Amino acid sequence: MQLYAHEEVKQLCITLQDCYEINVNIILWCCWFASVQGECSKELLSSILADNKPWHAQVTCQLRQARQWLRNNHQHELVQPFRQQLLQLEITSEAFEQEQLYQRSMKQNQSGSTGRSAARSNMQMYFNQLHATVSEAHWQFIELNLLTRVNEF
């Protein structure tokens, strides 16, 4: 994904993931959906989250947790290739999530204006569903590093 290729976006997404336990794929989906379809409905987002949650929790997060545990606890040179394999599996798992999000989204009708304000609205709805109160400082980083690039899809 072109948007995630920006180092600032990548670091922001990882920070949001670590601070608020968000799914980076859902954040990026909120922006992508806003750029092509507009604001998503609460029902659509709830349905997408429910469909995505089992795979994300049982596969993607488990792979990430194992990889991070190895990084923090085993620096042995024989473990490094295994950790890289876990990273590749994690990336493949995330790609599967993205494909599922895309397939689900293509069945939707456009819902009004597209772009930055729709992306912010979609993200806010996602944070609300997580009961996550994003700090003002993080919102400023979101505005500066992510929402300004929404139309880069």
Q: What's the average pLDDT block by block, 10 residues per block, for the chain (153 residues)? A: 82 92 94 91 94 96 94 87 94 94 81 84 95 94 90 67
**What does the pLDDT read at residue 5?**
83
**What does the pLDDT read at residue 111?**
66
The answer to whether the beta carbons of residues 125 and 48 sit under 8 Å apart is no
Q: How far apart are CA 8 and CA 24, in angstroms?
A: 14
**What does the pLDDT read at residue 49?**
95
**What does the pLDDT read at residue 97?**
95
The answer to whether the beta carbons of residues 25 and 64 sit under 8 Å apart is no
| pTM: predicted TM-score of the whole model, two decimal places | 0.86
**What does the pLDDT read at residue 77?**
86
